[in-house]
A and B are shown apart, each in its own frame.
Chain A
């Protein structure tokens, strides 16, 4: 892939890029299909239910059937909605979700762009989704969707700050914002051990960025019907759901890379197992954690949400930066 990027552009290379993107898209779609199935099963078991078990063996085709239903559904649009923005909003929400995957190094060889500032690229691009969410909330011309959109904007912008601050410790330890370098710097010990405080802040802030329980206020069913996508149906609704799950894919990959050692094995003696298997294992652990949290946590109140971000998470993240900086300066012999 990297060799291809260096070549002069032609129709041949353009075709390869398109094929690679489609392959990644198919992998992501496969992940989303079975993540939803897995989510319903896991939550079902935790609530002493069986979960989907009718469509296909063990209910494996349940999501496929659901998606087919969504795509065949009539595409409704409220009469007084803003036509252009109503159409644009799902695209604005989904495009960055897929765009952030371009910098993810899944293993040493399976990766797309090797950007020097991969980490910042992820965080910057994911901010564009907020714009799509507010646009959707406003263009639907519905009070519930507007409230959902406003909540989402406040939440995602606030929680972006502790999210960025919590990874500064990792960047300080590595000395690079390249995701590949960050993984390679974890050969001896994974970042989760020396950066545990940063990891904790990151996990909580990531949960809020993903708009998932206990931070799913933008689409709180009991208060807002469905939040910002209340008026959406069919294909456009599917785009919003897809964006949410693709962000989960992206965030899972990012957590794995930043804190769990990416494709590196637990112990060097286990390196005969290919890197992608390790990556998928760690990644699945994070995804399972998501469903676990969803089945067990209550939702935060709106007034607790903001004070939690600014008064708890941000000071903790700053403390983590300070501690990391002091330890690194000590190791470099600045105090001797």
Chain B
């Protein structure tokens, strides 16, 4: 029992537990908090894998995102509003079959994959922020720019949609 294994066990438990509670809670603020626990635990898993920068970026991005989500949840629902759920129907059985199928497929895929051993020295040294930056702005500069353009388009689109609704009133 190494410390790494213990940390992995706790973090993965929190990740899965947060996700399960996210689905089973009925009030929107509770859901958002459990989603937040999932995201923060995923950040912990990244740190455990030696990707400190990705882990911290995960917290940086998602803590803001969760706060905003919670604000909208508070503003757009009543204080005592709770999700009643759809009840027992054929939909539940269908989704169970679908999820079980997806799980089986992924489990099979993971089991079948032959993991190549990491090259010598790669496991020992974790990528520094400088290396990441150099890689992004040289080798992966086109995907990076494309992603930023995509985000910009989404931002402009959101503003246009909001403005249209504002004008019509």
* Binary flags per residue of B65-89, CB closer than 8 Å to A gives 1, else 0: 0111011001100010000000000
- How many whole Å from B57's CB to the nearest CB in chain A? 7
- How many whole Å from B124's CB to the nearest CB in chain A? 13
Find chain B residues with CB under 8 A from A128 CB.
40, 59, 63
Known: A116-B128, A131-B66. A124 touches B74 (CB 8 A): no
* Binary flags per residue of A28-55, CB closer than 8 Å to B gives 1, else 0: 0000000000000000000000000000
Closest B residue by C-beta to A121 = B56
| Bound Cα distance A135, B33 (Å) | 8
Whether B71 contacts A150 by the Cβ 8 Å rule is: yes
* Binary flags per residue of A71-104, CB closer than 8 Å to B gives 1, else 0: 0000000000010110010000000000000000
Whether A120 contacts B67 by the Cβ 8 Å rule is: no
Find chain A residues with CB under 8 A from B30 CB.
84-85
Whether B67 contacts A131 by the Cβ 8 Å rule is: yes
Asked if A58 is at the interface of the complex by the 8 Å CB criterion, the answer is no
Whether B59 contacts A116 by the Cβ 8 Å rule is: no
Asked if A130 is at the interface of the complex by the 8 Å CB criterion, the answer is yes
Find chain B residues with CB under 8 A from A123 CB.
60
B contact residues, total (Cβ < 8 Å): 27
Closest B residue by C-beta to A14 = B3
**Which chain A residues (118-155) contact chain B, with CB distance < 8 Å?**
120-121, 123-125, 127-128, 130-131, 134-135, 138-139, 141, 146, 150, 153
Whether B67 contacts A116 by the Cβ 8 Å rule is: no
Known: A125-B59, A127-B60, A128-B63. A117 touches B33 (CB 8 A): no
The number of inter-chain residue pairs (CB within 8 angstroms) is 75
Residue in contact with B70 in the complex, picked from A82, A84, A120, A134, CB distance below 8 Å: A134
| Bound Cα distance A69, B159 (Å) | 51
Asked if A253 is at the interface of the complex by the 8 Å CB criterion, the answer is no
Q: Which residues of A contact B (CB under 8 A)?
A: 8-9, 82, 84-85, 88, 115-117, 120-121, 123-125, 127-128, 130-131, 134-135, 138-139, 141, 146, 150, 153, 157, 160, 175-177
Q: Which residues of B contact A (CB under 8 A)?
A: 2-3, 6, 29-30, 33, 36, 40, 52-53, 56-57, 59-60, 63-64, 66-68, 70-71, 74-75, 79, 128-130
Closest B residue by C-beta to A92 = B33
Residue in contact with B52 in the complex, picked from A9, A115, A146, CB distance below 8 Å: A115
Whether B67 contacts A117 by the Cβ 8 Å rule is: no
Closest B residue by C-beta to A9 = B3
- How many whole Å from B27's CB to the nearest CB in chain A? 8
Whether B59 contacts A124 by the Cβ 8 Å rule is: yes
- A128-B59, A176-B130 are known contacts; what are 5 more A-B pairs with Cβ within 8 Å? A8-B3, A85-B30, A88-B33, A124-B59, A131-B63
Find chain B residues with CB under 8 A from A85 CB.
29-30, 33
- How many whole Å from A151's CB to the nearest CB in chain B? 11
| Bound Cα distance A150, B73 (Å) | 12
| Bound Cα distance A224, B6 (Å) | 45
Find chain B residues with CB under 8 A from A124 CB.
56-57, 59-60, 63
Closest B residue by C-beta to A89 = B33
Residue in contact with B129 in the complex, picked from A134, A150, A177, CB distance below 8 Å: A177
Closest A residue by C-beta to B52 = A117
Known: A116-B52, A128-B40, A153-B71. A135 touches B29 (CB 8 A): yes
